[in-house]
Amino acid sequence: MDIGICTTDFSAQPVEALFAKIAGYGFSQVQLDFASIGEEEMPARIEPGLIERILCAARENHLELVAVNGTFNIIDLDQSVREQGIERFEVLARACCDLGCPILTLCTGTRSSETMWSWHPDNDSELAWQDMMRSMRSLMAIAERYQIILGIETEAANVISTPERARRLMDAFASPLLKVILDGANLFHRNTAFPENVQPTLKHAFDVLGQDIILAHGKDIAHSAEIRFAAPGMGIIDFDYFLQLLKTYGYKDGMILHGIEDEADIPFCIAMIRAKIAASGL
């Protein structure tokens, strides 16, 4: 199993320097956020020269581009914000094709006006669901045009907050171009991130979504009544069990580490996951 990292775990810098640093830590895969290389996260235009620089940096550092971030609030109360996001999502879809990258990630949205990762009680409303579905129909049309896979996650702060809601969305489209990014840390809500809940929570997510996992994220969460993410191996996620479940469901792709706020923790995190992958036989 290859090990990668999401570029949001690094400060913004030129792609050449960023990819050299990532390779230097021993990673072989990358989930790219354009903000990490000094662009807007959802750029209105991507110059061909930048695409070539990304490809060149990936080749020189033996890195595989496995996903690009395309996260915007698809149920923003301001319809013009949603429309602009959809337009820019297509820019990123075109970039994915040019980069030979198969997956474009997305955020299923929140009614919160703070950030895309803040909960709002209206997220559970049928109106929010229908707004999400309207945006998703546009995004799925883009996926069809460019033949790229859209990756969704369960996220406590978003409309798709549980495996069941993710399943409902997947079943609504029944498309091979809509798949799941399984991030164990994102399965927990407030008052649930306790060690005794880890294995049942992971197993339930795999029971519901295991056949549709396109990418695995190696993020962690602290033992807390609140939602406090942690660097991989520094929280309560049972990565041995997580890897066992991935193996059971026939997952054969990489593990993308995420949530490492202190770069000094990267050597520990990659060594931890590498040892557990070796022990799992993946």
For residue 234, what are its two tokens? Answer: 């520094």
Number of Cβ within 10 Å of residue 242's Cβ equals 24
pLDDT digits (tens, 9 = 90+) for 234-257: 999 999 999 999 999 999 999 999
Pairing outcome for strands 229-230 and 220-221: antiparallel
- pLDDT value, residue 146: 97
The residue segments making up the domain with residue 155 are 3-280
CA dist 3 and 256 (Å) reads: 6
In the chain, the N- to C-terminal Cα span, in Å, equals: 6
What's the structural domain count of the chain?
Answer: 1
| Residue 214 belongs to domain with CATH number | 3.20.20.150
d(C-alpha 267, C-alpha 141), whole Å? 41
Angle, CA 37 vertex, CA 138 and CA 56 arms, to 5°: 95
List, for residues 138-154, the tens digit of each pLDDT value: 999 999 999 999 999 99
Predicted structure pTM score: 0.96
pLDDT digits (tens, 9 = 90+) for 193-205: 999 999 999 999 9
The stretch 169-175 carries a mean pLDDT of: 97
